[in-house]
Each structure stands twice: as C-alpha cells, then as structure tokens.
Chain A
C-alpha cells in the first residue's frame, strides 16, 4: 500500500489546478487531471502495480511508453490495461493485478454492469 511517493512534482511546477478523484485497491486518491494512471499512482505513493503471474514478484512501471507492459492494472473492471497509456478519469476504479490468482478470479471480481460496453 502507499509509501512515501517515489515521484513528486518538481519545485517549479505550479500545483495542478484541476484534480480528479479515483481509487486504487478501493483506497481514494486525488490526482492531477490529464495525467496518466501510471504517473498518478507513482506520485500517490503506489510502488507496486501488480505481481507477476509466474512467481508473484512485485512490479511497477519500467518504460512509461507502452513497451514493457509491467504497469498493467485493472481499470474499471478491464484487466491488463497499460496504465502508462491510460489517462485518469473521475471515479476510475483501479485494481492491482496480483499474479495468476487474479487472472483466474478476474471475471468473478467484476460486478454486473461494471464492464464498459
């Protein structure tokens, strides 16, 4: 769960005028509008985005440009979203993907009507 954020805005950055609220593993977060999910989580102290299906090793973003697929999370019920390519939205529900267990359980985790058409 959240630790001291690994990334923070540099001194010259004005505080973002617009924020959106979303949740990560059901914990509410306020993040700057317009940022990617990966950037928003990193600045919110999230340092573990998922665990690998093979050995359940912890992972977080490595490349931030859509190459490595290490930043995969579940967004609004859709698994395996590249969080470095998805922009934050108000009310977004983000879940870490905990290894092979989640791959098996994923469909059961999704409440009816939760999946975007």
Chain B
C-alpha cells in the first residue's frame, strides 16, 4: 500500500474547507483538499463556479459570496482533488479516499475535517414516498441544475433554509402552493430573551424579515403553528395533511419539501471516537473542540458546521482559525503570530454567531416531528418504525447500537446517517433519560461505500 505524505489533508470543499485550505497554503504548508463533488462550494455554495450568471443572481447575494472563496482556492497553491470520496480518517492522520475507481491514502501531519452539516431528519407519516424531499435537496437541484418543481409545491417545516428556498422560488417564478410553518406565533415570544443579541446581528435579522415579507407579498398561503403533518399517497406523494389553528387542512400536491434545520455531520468525528456532547440548544451531538477546532484526537481539527451550526460565513472564519492553529502546531507560525492573526477573526466570528441562540430557539423543531408516533418510519433503509424501536426498548434495548441487533435499525446503506438523531431521541424519551446518556451510533469506516475491488486496487 503506497501512501503519500502531506502537511495537511482537508476534507470537504465548502466554506470552512476552502477558507482553511487557502489559509494553510498561504502559510507555506503543503495542502491537499479532498471533496466528493465535481466542483468546489460544498452544499451552501454548490455549483458556484459552474452556475450561469442568471442563476447566481436568482439565488441571491449570500450564494454569490461563495465565488470569492472559490476564486481564492483556484489562485492558491492548494492541491484540490475533486470527485474524491474520503472513506476513512484514522487517529494517526491517515486519510483514505476513493478517486477514479481506486483507493488512495495520504499520511498527513494534521487533518482538517470540514464536512459541514446535513438536514435534520423529518420523520412524519409518508415521508419516504417519492415526491417528498428535503428543502435542501430541492435547493441543490436549483443550484446545480436550475431545476424546480413543475407543479405548485408545498414547503413545510421551519428554519431559515426553508424560507430562503421560498424566496428563491418566488424570484425564479416557481409556483408555491403554500408554506406550512410549524413555528407557532408564541415561539417568537419564548425566544425573546435572545432578541437583544439577535438585534446586534441585524444583517441576519433584516435578511430574515425580507424573506418573509417577499413571501407575503407574493401572496403565498402561510399556515402557522401547523401540527400533525402527514403525507398521503401510495406509490408517490399526493397531498400534505395537517392541522392549523385547530382545523384540519389537506393540500393536494405531488411535491412536498420538508425542512426543520440542519445538524452537524459527525460521521468522521464519531468514527475517530472523539468526544461528543449533546447540544441541548441545537438538539444534536457536536464534537468537543478547543479554540482552534482541535478534537481530543491530537492533530485532527474540525471547522464549520461540523462542529456546531453557525452558518457559511462563520464556517469560513472557523476554517481560517483552524488553519492558524494547525500552522502553529506544525511550526509554520509562532504562537504569538497565531494569536495576533486570530484576534480579528474571533471578533468577526462572535458577531456572526450572535444570531444563533435566537434562531435555535425560534425554529426549534417540534417534538412531534423529531420523536414521531409509533407508525412512522424512523430507519428508512431497513424500514424500522418508531413503534418497533419502542418495542426494542421495552425488551431491554438501551441505545442505538443495540437497536441494530434488535432489528437492523441503522444498518442499511446510509449507515444510520438519516435516522441517528431520531433513534437517539426516541430511545431517550422511551427510557426517560437524556439523549446525551443514550449516545449515538458507533460509526465505523468505510464512511463511504467502497467495493473490495476498489480497495484491492490501492
């Protein structure tokens, strides 16, 4: 097995990975940036270097911002490997990835994980039917291919990404049947203690208000405080049903887009057995990192949403901070230089993070959409329902890893990515303990599917 030595391997070419890699190369380090996609940007800036100008304009200024990062990457000395699917990162800094039908390995002095976020699962009746997708999925189709639903679409759930997609659809002339909002008017009242901090993050707040105003102006039906969401259909989605203001509503549609926030993608940090903690504000597990993003695994750093949701601009700053921490550790920078250069980045980062507690509180996903009723599918791959999972708990199943043995829960092709949080929360509620006590699936490599042939070709 031949392994190539590099100073730093960066995994993921979203804002944190691009900014971190460029900063590391600028400090004279030899950097390889590995990314699964065919072009840089991650999900938030997906297709930024390929999107025609008209599409970039329709998607808005926040999307266009990704172009600066992508240009800086192109102008840098970073070796950017597109189409490289990392399937293993070890505690001693070996990074293995699949590229061109073969597995390759890097021996790195330090590793920066910038694998970002994924959408929180939204387990409701019928969410496995064709025609039901996440809002993020629909936005990826818009960014990368300029595609949108061909018939009036129903957007359901809560959170900035859902409203942003609605705003982008309005700009693109895509018909929206309704916005079915699970946020209740009183949620804003409950979040009021975070409002003064949010007001100091005024650009974010103003943007949110603008999004909502544009949806209102477009005359889109907006149901608030929606409960008991369910998708009807046999072979494909036919309608979304719910209750709003105590009345049952049925909206016929072939396309339902669900969203209730994003959570850190922790596949790699979990597979490294790094310490994670349950974040009671963001209702997810996050890896425990120091001021530079370093895990409790020496030399392995996490930047961006993968260490806790902060958004794209915060992610780029965290990428630069991690680069400083890594450069100092590899003796490319003195600690005094590191701290000097970090100070302005930290100040800006703090400004960007001020909005988060308010957003986390207002758009906290409702319990019924996280810990579903018995009949709802939790593990989509192996088709394990919440009821079956509760049955396992009644038989003594104490956590997600035992749920695998009890009923293959989390053992399908997605390796528990999409059901992990739901499984933890369902078991925690059934046992009457905290999700932190229940823990998460034990994630093992390969993180991405790899054939024996590909492995043997290394």
Contact = CB atoms under 8 A, between A and B. Distances in A.
| Bound pair (A, B) | yes
A7 B149 contact: yes
Given A6-B149, A10-B58, A35 B174 contact: no
A36 B50 CA distance: 14
B67 to A, nearest CB: 18
Residue from A13, A58, A60, A65 having most chain B Cβ neighbours under 10 A: A65
Interface stretch (A20-28, A47-55, A104-112): A47-55
Given A58-B236, A68-B380, A63 B137 contact: yes
Interface in B133-156: 133-134, 136-138, 140-142, 144-151
A6 B147 CA distance: 10
Contacts, number: 138
A57 B235 CA distance: 8
Interface string A27-50: 000001011100100110001110
Interface string A1-24: 000111111111110000000000
Contact of A10 (B85, B133, B146, B418): B146
8 contacts: A4-B150, A10-B173, A13-B54, A42-B147, A57-B128, A64-B133, A67-B119, A67-B418
B381 interface: yes
A67 B37 CA distance: 13
Contacts of B119: 63, 67
Interface size class of B (residues with CB under 8 A): 35 or more
Given A11-B172, A11-B173, A12-B58, A5 B130 contact: no
Contacts of B136: 63-65
Nearest to A115: B453
Nearest to B119: A63
Contacts of B50: 34
A98 to B, nearest CB: 13
A42 B128 contact: no
Question: Is chain A's interface secondary structure helix, strand, loop, or mixed overall?
Answer: loop
B174 A61 contact: no
Contacts of A7: 141, 147-150
Interface string B24-54: 0000000000001110000100000010101
A62 B132 contact: yes
Given A43-B147, A58-B129, A10 B172 contact: yes
B230 interface: no
Contact of A8 (B52, B85, B150): B150
B131 A6 contact: yes
Given A4-B150, A65-B136, A66-B36, A10 B144 contact: no
Interface stretch (B212-220, B348-356, B409-417): B409-417
B235 A64 contact: no
